[in-house]
Amino acid sequence: MSYAYNELRPGVFFIYEGQPFVVLSSQPLRMQQRKPVFQTRMRNLINGKIIEHNFMVSDVLEEADIQKREANFLYAHRGEFWFTDKDNPKNRFKIEESILGDGAKFLKPNTVVTAIEYNGKAITVELPVKMDFKVIEAPPSTRGNTAQGGTKQVKIETGAMINVPLFINEGEVIRVNTETGEYVERASS
């Protein structure tokens, strides 16, 4: 199967210059007196680099032969993140932090992720869109400002810093969008 330039939506896997990519964002762009193009931001699934490219009407892109399977995150050591197949715990694989990108800061042991395979080899993982984390450090809220729309930075159990409303305290569990890194809501305990 192949994709036309205007079918490159976020989450689509395709081959570009012989390597698999995933679309992060795309939007149509029409300049005066020219043919329309699709401005695309994409991540190389082999080396993790993010690039931007404008695809034209004449561009036809091959679909990447991607397989998905469930996996568990085990641990991280010196920039290597180790996973195991959910169905076959003896089958372990690692992914470099540079390929995981910002998602690496949301991985905690035993998180179930989706492993993305290309040519029979796991090349990256997708995290659940929303995950719950315990707040381990939070500056105190000032009395009287908790009803307003202000924010503060807190540290979650993985070490990542997240902007949250002022009423969030240390020890609470919050839900975070792993794609944007933003606070969603308090998680019910």
pLDDT given for residue 82 in this prediction: 93
Domain boundaries, given as residue ranges, for the chain: 2-63, 66-126, 130-186
pLDDT given for residue 43 in this prediction: 87
Phi-psi region of 157 (alpha: psi -120 to 50; beta: other; left: phi over 0): alpha
Correct CATH for 130-186 of 3.40.50.2000, 1.10.3720.10, 2.40.50.140, 3.40.50.2300? 2.40.50.140
Locate 167 and state its tokens.
């009423």
pLDDT given for residue 24 in this prediction: 87
Give the torsion through C-alpha atoms of 126, 111, 161, 77, to 10 deg: -90
pLDDT given for residue 45 in this prediction: 84
pLDDT given for residue 142 in this prediction: 63
pLDDT given for residue 87 in this prediction: 85
Locate 15 and state its tokens.
């081959």
> b or e along 96-132 (b: 16 or more beta carbons within 10 Å of the residue's beta carbon)?
ebebbeebbbbbbeebebebbebeeebbbbebeeebb
Please name which of 83, 111, 84 lies closest in space to residue 99, comparing C-alpha atoms. Answer: 83
- The CATH code that applies to domain 2-63 is 2.30.30.30
Same topology, domains 2-63 and 66-126? Answer is no
Give percent helix, percent strand, percent coil of the chain, each to the nearest 5: 5, 55, 40
List the pLDDT tens digit at each of the 189 positions of the chain. 788 877 888 888 999 988 999 888 888 887 666 778 888 999 888 887 889 998 888 888 898 888 999 999 999 988 889 999 888 889 999 988 888 878 889 999 999 999 988 888 888 888 998 999 999 998 886 665 555 567 889 999 999 999 998 888 899 999 999 888 899 998 875
pLDDT given for residue 144 in this prediction: 56
94 sits in which H/E element: strand 92-96
pLDDT given for residue 107 in this prediction: 92
Half-sphere exposure at residue 49, Cβ-oriented, CA atoms within 13 angstroms: 5
Locate 157 and state its tokens.
């159990």
Please name which of 22, 42, 39, 21 lies closest in space to residue 30, comparing C-alpha atoms. Answer: 39
3-state secondary structure of 102: helix
- Beta pairing, strands 173-177 & 130-137: antiparallel
The CATH H-level superfamily of 66-126 is: Nucleic acid-binding proteins (2.40.50.140)
